[in-house]
Structure 1
Amino acid sequence: MSGPAGRARGRLTGWWRRRSLRTRLTVIAATAIAVSVFASFQVASELLAWELQDTVEDQLRADSRVLATNAERAGLAQAELPPYPGSGRLVRVILPDGSTRTPDGQPALPPVSEHAGRVAQGASADLMESGDLDDDGYLVYTLRAGGGAIQVARAADDSPINGFGLGMLLIGLLCVAGGALVGRTVARAGLAPIDRLTAAAVRVAHTRDLDADIPDEGGGEIRRLIQSINDMLAALRDSRRAQRLLAEDAAHELKTPLTSLRLNVELLIRLDRRGTLDSALPSESRTRLLDDLGAQVAELSTLAAELTDLARGDVSDESTEVLDLADVVMAAAARARSRVPDVEIALDVTSVWMSGRPAGLQRAVLNLIDNAGKWSPADQPVQIRLRAEGASAVLEVDDAGPGIDAADVPRVFDRFYRADSARALPGSGLGLSIVQRVVDAHGGRATVARSARGGALLRVDLPAAAPPAPIARPTAGEDTAVR
């Protein structure tokens, strides 16, 4: 909509949107009452008008029957007509020749209508019609009598309706004012919990105190809203607690490699400044120190990457797609072979389709293989098995190492957790926690047990999916040209 009407409507809409909810409820209540009063006035006025008209018509019929009786006795020309009282009823006699008689001093009535003339001629017994005279409304009743007709008329009296309308107007104004007051009071009482909820939310925003739950009050929608906000605060508390724990654990885990790296670098710098690097560190010792530095840098890089992955949580730009988990497992195994050529990997996989994020799943499988590669003896391969069991895709990574102690099993997938026997091995203790997060994000379950070879058996169950429908290929002889 454009033009002045559209601009006016836009300004009205903008004004309405800027009003508070309390003001809107007040206006709505007052408007609803005003509309109700107006509708009631219209209906009552119509009913009153019909009732008054029925009363006047009944009176006209009664008066006409009295005059018709007199006319039958004395004749239309000689019948005595009642004197005009100055207002109210009007009388007229229609003689057989079409002429009329009226009482002395009575105002003139409208000319005899065609329908009334037919009644006087015997076409029908009576007739009720309305007419106008000097901008006033009249009801005229015509009754056949004595070869002619008797007409009795009465001016329409609007004073009862006008008085009724004035009374309804005053009552309507009082109702609108009372409705606005009641609407304001109801809005204030109904929105009081929301006001307290807003104040509590503002207080939490200013103080950053997520431990202060908002008191549960009210019922219905208000209670559900408060519960939702409290649930959101609980989620924020958990998120902030997890962030704090992650930062504390990261600082703790970074302290040891950084300290070792700093000491080794400071040793090299100190010896180099003294000019005794070659004499103090023989070639073999220097090579071993540089290897240690390289390993520590690699460990820090891995730890930083895993911390970044964990800090991102479930937020990922990678889209979900239907994929063959066997392709993901084989790709992860190929990466593991390139990273650690010493570890032998034996694959026994079958095609199992699922809906997931390929990069995240590949990272989880790679972490499982890396974990198994640390423990598996050089002459024993890491066995990877993938199969379908019912509605699940089952992935098992089996090593021939010493296995996991029963005391360590409940914490295997915790962040930064490393068993006492694993502290001398490279790693950050984050690999399996990343596996747990990826599996949880895909609606799966990760468990640990002892394998038949005595080592650890890490099992992942993921929900399977139907394979995608094959793409229809044109048969021989079909026209495949693109038009």
Structure 2
Amino acid sequence: MSRSTGRGPRRFTRWWRRRSLRTRMTVIAATAIAASVFVSFQVATELLGGELRDAAENQLRADSRVLAADAERAGLARVQLPPYPGSGRLVRVILADGSTRTPAGQPALPPVSEAAGRVAQGVSADLMESRDGDDEGYLVYTLRAGDGAVQVARLADDGPINQLGFGMLVLGLLCVAGGALVGRAVARAGLAPIDRLTAAAVRVAQTRDLDAAIPDEGGGEIRRLVQSINDMLAALRESRQAQRLLAEDAAHELKTPLTSLRLNVELLIRLDRRGTLNSALPAESRTRLLNDLGAQVAELSTLAAELTDLARGDISDENTELLDFADVVVAAVTRARSRKPGIEVAVDANSVWVSGRPAALQRAVLNLIDNAGKWSPAEQPVQVRLRAEGRSAVLEVDDAGPGIDVADVPRVFDRFYRAESARALPGSGLGLSIVRRVVDAHGGRVAVARSARGGALLRVELPAASPPAPIARFTAGEDPAVR
């Protein structure tokens, strides 16, 4: 029983959802007009019925007073009754003995009711009542006159109400049909911008032309929708442009190490085929060439890893967590020392809590240390300092190298950008770009300046977080309330 009860509404909901917006608006408009016509019909019927009944009752009272006055003068038994049907009303006289007089040829009225009999006996006042005859319904008014009473009656005429109902029905059908047409036209006119917007979006999807902005369609919700789609297209254009630039820059950066690697490998293959490898390349030269090949392969591996990291839409799939930034810095320094045993790093890291992704932050700090390690002299260690300043965690990495030229400062965080003095050194030009992306994703900022030792000072600021609440620990048998 419950299943069949709920199945109907679900079917209607599914049917309704499959309709187009234009059809929905048409149905809603027609339904609203039909409901309005129905309510108007009910109200008009009640008002008209009440007015007609009041008019009929007033007329019956007036006619009964005239007949009662005649009966008072001539007596109930001798009063002359108006002929039927000339007066257009039905009359009856109730005598003192309970008998009645009616005009000749007049249709029989319903029998005298007990309430009307009490009026004739003088027990009750005048009475207005609705009575049903054999075939018709009557409205009967009884008024005391002499030692009896007079009655004036009218047929209950529902003709005007029926005519009104038929007229309202015809008018309602016309209004519903007109409302459906008007709703359809309004829906077509109102949804025309949506249709043009849909056509423009389909055209963009088919042609893949993201430069074709959708024209503005006036104001209100349509304008906001158009602006949102145009903003989305602009974001897609920027993303595609960024991908194109990344591919072009990657191809350019990969070209040089791949060419060098190919030439060295071809040289080894050619000498080996001739059988002159040992004579043409002494052991020292061969070792140096193999070392160069190893360095080039390592550089390509690093570049491929950095390109993969940079091409991601997000920093990583790891979750954000509350962590002590000092632990991240120490871990990055440890990795830097293991990767380059000759690098010297001096660490001064105070505990500062931040909310972030530990692996991404460690990669950013490692890139900063690697960058500084390329420039700092062997006798001058890279200095890494971490402290809290207000509501920020500030990380500074500086070296004692030549520093960054003023002309290079605006582009030092651009992808693949390498200053003239850095092009002879190993690297891809992606390290600092990754640093800026990680810092931006954590709501921080990174800047470059000149350190007190004359080298470069890279400064990272991240929003600090409140440290976690300490967890109370109790020994066995200890009462926590005592502490």
Matched with 1:45 is 45
Amino acid at match of 1:414: D
Looking at structure 1, the residues matched to 359 and 17 of structure 2 have their Cα atoms a distance apart, in angstroms, of: 47
Shift of 1:75: 2.8
State the Cα deviation string for residues 113-147 of structure 1 (Å, max 9, x = none): 33333333334322222232236332222222323
Q: Secondary structure at the match of 2:407?
A: coil
Instruction: Return 347-356 or 126-135, whichever deviates more.
Output: 126-135
Looking at structure 2, the residues matched to 41 and 386 of structure 1 have their Cα atoms a distance apart, in angstroms, of: 82
Shift of 1:11: 4.1
For the 8 Å contact 2:316–2:360, the answer to whether it is kept is no
State the Cα deviation string for residues 417-473 of structure 1 (Å, max 9, x = none): 011111111110000000111111111111000011111110111112222333455
Q: Secondary structure at the match of 1:151?
A: strand
Looking at structure 2, the residues matched to 56 and 312 of structure 1 have their Cα atoms a distance apart, in angstroms, of: 89
Matched with 1:425 is 425
- Describe how 1:331-342 pairs up with structure 2 within 5 A: 331-342=331-342
Looking at structure 2, the residues matched to 122 and 383 of structure 1 have their Cα atoms a distance apart, in angstroms, of: 122
Structure 1, gaps ≥5 residues long: none
For the 8 Å contact 1:88–1:155, the answer to whether it is kept is no
Cα gap change, 1:313/1:155 in structure 2, threshold over 3 Å: closer, same or farther?
same
Matched with 2:177 is 177
For the 8 Å contact 2:309–2:315, the answer to whether it is kept is no
Shift of 1:269: 1.5
Shift of 1:286: 1.5
Amino acid at match of 1:16: W
Looking at structure 2, the residues matched to 331 and 38 of structure 1 have their Cα atoms a distance apart, in angstroms, of: 79
Q: TM-score, normalised by structure 1?
A: 0.94
Over the matched positions of the two proteins, sequence identity in percent amounts to 84
Matched with 1:402 is 402
Matched with 1:274 is 274
State yes or no: 1:241 paired with 2:241.
yes
Matched with 1:18 is 18
Structure 1 segments of 4+ aligned residues over 6 angstroms from their partners: none
Matched with 1:316 is 316
For the 8 Å contact 1:64–1:152, the answer to whether it is kept is yes
Cα gap change, 1:98/1:289 in structure 2, threshold over 3 Å: closer, same or farther?
same
For the 8 Å contact 2:409–2:448, the answer to whether it is kept is yes
Looking at structure 1, the residues matched to 109 and 402 of structure 2 have their Cα atoms a distance apart, in angstroms, of: 124
Looking at structure 2, the residues matched to 43 and 479 of structure 1 have their Cα atoms a distance apart, in angstroms, of: 79
Looking at structure 2, the residues matched to 66 and 477 of structure 1 have their Cα atoms a distance apart, in angstroms, of: 111
State yes or no: 1:220 paired with 2:220.
yes
Shift of 1:112: 2.8
For the 8 Å contact 1:86–1:106, the answer to whether it is kept is no
Matched with 2:208 is 208
Shift of 1:81: 2.3
Shift of 1:350: 1.8
Shift of 1:313: 3.0
Structure 2, gaps ≥5 residues long: none
State the Cα deviation string for residues 252-292 of structure 1 (Å, max 9, x = none): 00001111111111112222222222222222112111111
Q: Secondary structure at the match of 2:406?
A: coil
- Describe how 1:66-77 pairs up with structure 2 within 5 A: 66-77=66-77
Shift of 1:8: 4.5
- Describe how 1:79-478 pairs up with structure 2 within 5 A: 79-85=79-85, 89-134=89-134, 136-314=136-314, 316-471=316-471, 473=473, 477=477
Cα gap change, 1:81/1:469 in structure 2, threshold over 3 Å: closer, same or farther?
farther
Looking at structure 2, the residues matched to 431 and 307 of structure 1 have their Cα atoms a distance apart, in angstroms, of: 10
Aligned residue pairs, count: 480
Q: Secondary structure at the match of 1:103?
A: coil
